Amino acid sequence: MDPQYPVGKFTVEENLSDARRSELIGQIAEAPGKLREALKGLEAKQLDTPYRDSGWTVRQVAHHLADSHMNAYVRFKLALTEDFPTIKPYDQKLWAETADTRAPVEASVELLDALHQRWVALLKSMGAADFKRRLKHPELGEVVLEKYLGMYAWHSRHHVAHITSLRERMGWK
């Protein structure tokens, strides 16, 4: 297994069926609980262990999920309420180095849980046409919300797997 991509690299799916969208929304709904379970019982030294050489620590991964998904939620709201909005990118590597990423992980787990409750409610309210709405990413160009749905479902699994695969490799029960 590749420690950098334990669930494989993200691949874009186009023209999602209602069933596939529902499945991806379910993955987003499950993410906070899966993160909480992946972090359960880890001590400070373990939380401060990089999940791979030159990778973020477990603690940084947990905080990154909250940071990234807050941005994703806002992007969905912008795309649903504005005509082809331009979003502001951010440097996730620099965000992972700010002082708050050394704080206890529980705050980010709770934030992710509350955020995902709102996000999933929004996602479930969206129709097929809503998932075709677009936004402009200054670095990626035009992005359709359907792509973001798949990307953030993958993103949730991807980062939780960083933690669970590290636990497995290290023998942390």
Residue in 66, 72, 67 with CA at minimum distance from that of residue 137? 72
pLDDT value at 144 more than 90? yes
Domain ranges of the chain: 18-170
Q: Tokens 């965000």 label which residue?
A: 95
Residue in 36, 47, 41, 38 with CA at minimum distance from that of residue 7? 38
Query: 144 has which bridge partners?
Result: 134
Q: Tell me the per-residue pLDDT of 60-101, one tens digit each, with 9 for 90 and over.
A: 999 999 999 999 999 999 999 999 999 999 999 999 999 999
pLDDT confidence of 22, banded at 50, 70, 90? very high
- Mean pLDDT score, 153-169: 98
Contacts of 56 (CB under 8 A, 6+ apart): 50, 64, 96, 162
The fold for domain 18-170 equals: Four Helix Bundle (Hemerythrin (Met), subunit A) (1.20.120)
- Mean pLDDT score, 48-58: 97
pLDDT of residue 1: 80
Q: In the chain, what percentage of residues exceed pLDDT 90? A: 99
pLDDT of residue 156: 98
- pTM listed for this prediction: 0.96
Yes or no: say if 162 and 6 are a contact pair by the CB < 8 Å rule: yes
pLDDT confidence of 143, banded at 50, 70, 90? very high
pLDDT value at 168 more than 90? yes
